[in-house]
Structure 1
Amino acid sequence: MPETRLRRYKKDAPHSYTFGVFPTLELLTHRPELALQVVIHPKGERNQGVEKIRRLCHQGEIPCSVQEKAFSRLGARDNDFALAVFAKEESRLDEQADHLLLYQPAGRGNLGTIMRTMLGFGLRDLAIIRPAADPFHPETVRASMGALFQLRLAQFDTFEAYRSRFDRPLTLLMTDGETSLPDADWPSPVTLVFGPEGAGLPPQFRAYGQTVRIPQSGAIDSLNLAIAVGVTLYQRHLA
């Protein structure tokens, strides 16, 4: 079968890619309706995960071909034995569920890790305030290990646009928050709000709700964003 001319990802394209067997399986298992095409690397034809991918493609009538050049052309790694083309689609957030809101996150790796961490602690609604890292970029999808396909995701141009849509309590994570994380209240539904790497949330966000700080030593200025989210979600899980 001749190779399909797939091109490197662009943010304004209507589709993106999963690189690797596991993210591709997550797509085909949880959001098969988004899958447009699957490509298998010749070196991976005997891989057990690839065999499962083939079965899922057959069940869902999703085009599946064996190609080699497409992997290097798209920027995949040497150990990526499968990739999928999927349609980018945002979702309607659940009004009754807790949300996690990221205000202008910059790092694709952090964003993907946060997606996977959310899923691990049972949180499935993610709001992102632009400008922000692209949640559909292949690097983000890889970092999420395909968790993207089990989340409801919506992007907003401003924080005010989100607030006008969802009238609910906010818990804002700030390095100088008034309440220590172990003492925080956890109403439900609630939105957990995190600022960007480095700068954190703007000072005026203090007026929007409960401000919470994560206790830490004075040896560092702040925790990595993905770590801060993980610590917070663990504390919420214990509450």
Structure 2
Amino acid sequence: MSVQFIASKDNPKIKHLRALIQQAAYRKKQQQTVLEGTHLCLAWLEQHSHLHALYTTEHALTHADFEKIQQHYNGHIFVISEALYKELSTLGTSIACMAVIDIPRHQHAFDPQADTLILENIQDPGNVGTLLRSAAAAGIQQILTTTGSAALWSPRVLRAGMGAHFALQCYEHIALEVALAQFKIPVYVTSLEQAQSLYSLDLSRACVWILGNEGQGVSDYALAHAQAVTIPQPGGQESLNVAIAGSVCMFEMVRQRL
């Protein structure tokens, strides 16, 4: 392990780091992303072994949490100024720690027999990250997203996911029509209209959940090719936040299987 100090914001490594944080097209081209915060970095190292690079500040270098990461990392640590780190950071307040990783790539197609969460055009990074956390906690291991959904491996979604990504098989830019043609298990879609109560379903076997856009809901195609499910709301609210609705559905599944 070596420690190198970088003073200039125009250093090529800093330019690469900044582009990965700010530009989705650059992340896609490089097939890399950035983990920020010691929690995410430690969670990654528990599941994987390789970091391309680690960035911190001189103050954070000796922090106990950062030292835990150093115990699992033998590569280069780049030390930058506090001002430059704050300029790059998306967290605001945390122990200075950023790691560059390769975006995981799967050798196999998704499993059409496995519990699955499909995110159709869900755009808010916080909602996507929360849904991934709930899916991982509920034992769902497979996530599909359609074009238009927030990029799963963006720093903001990673932050909201709190490490859930690393326990999931994630497939992005999947055409809903293609995916639904392959599933041979029940497919459910959340809806407020002409829908069956969630609590009347038999969720004892593998199934697929489709959740839709925050404002517009799921597409007509999803409604036409899945069983519509509603969550009873005796309090009379118009609708639930998509991340909350999805979490309620997944944990009703868990409850029935316990």
TM over 0.5: yes
Three-state SS of the structure 2 residue aligned to 1:122 is coil
Structure 2 matches for 1:176-195, cutoff 5 A? Answer: 176-186=193-203, 188-195=205-212
8 Å contact kept, 1:38–1:63 = yes
C-alpha displacement at 1:115, in angstroms? 1.0
List alignment gaps of at least 5 residues for structure 1. none
Deviation at 1:204, TM superposition (A): 4.2
Contact 1:169–1:187 at 8 Å: present in 2 too? no
**Among 169, 173, 190, which residue is 1:156 paired with?**
173
Q: How far has the Cα of 1:157 moved from its partner?
A: 4.3
Return the match for 1:81 from 96, 110, 113.
96
- The change in CA–CA distance for 1:156 and 1:185 in structure 2 (over 3 A counts) is farther
Q: How many residues align?
A: 235
Q: Which runs of 5 or more structure 2 residues have no equivalent in the other structure?
A: 7-12
3-state SS of 1:162 partner: helix
Relative to 1, partners in 2 of residues 1:210 and 1:112: Cα closer, same or farther, differing over 3 Å? Answer: same
| 1:11 and 2:24 matched | yes
Matches of 1:102 and 1:211, distance apart in 2: 15
Contact 1:156 1:162 in 2 (8 A): no
Cα deviation digits, residues 47-96 of structure 1 (max 9, x gap) = 322111001113xxx33333335523423423242111111234343444
Whether 2:119 is the aligned partner of 1:102: answer yes
Offset from partner CA, 1:159-214 (integer Å, 9 cap, x none)? 11222444432111112252101111226332111111121113443331321101
TM-score, length of structure 2 as denominator length = 0.83
Query: Equivalents in 1 of 2:132, 2:170: separation in Å?
Result: 10
Look up the equivalent residue of 1:118 and give its one-letter code: A
Q: CA deviation at 1:216?
A: 0.9
* Greater Cα offset, 20-29 or 5-14: 5-14
Work out the CA distance in 1 between the residues paired with 2:241 and 2:204.
25
Match of 2:62 in 1: 46
- Confirm whether residue 125 of structure 1 aligns to residue 178 of structure 2: no
Q: Percent identity?
A: 24
3-state DSSP class of the match of 1:22? helix
Change (3 A) 1:186 1:221: same
Q: How far, CA to CA, are the matches of 2:70 and 2:202 in structure 1?
A: 47
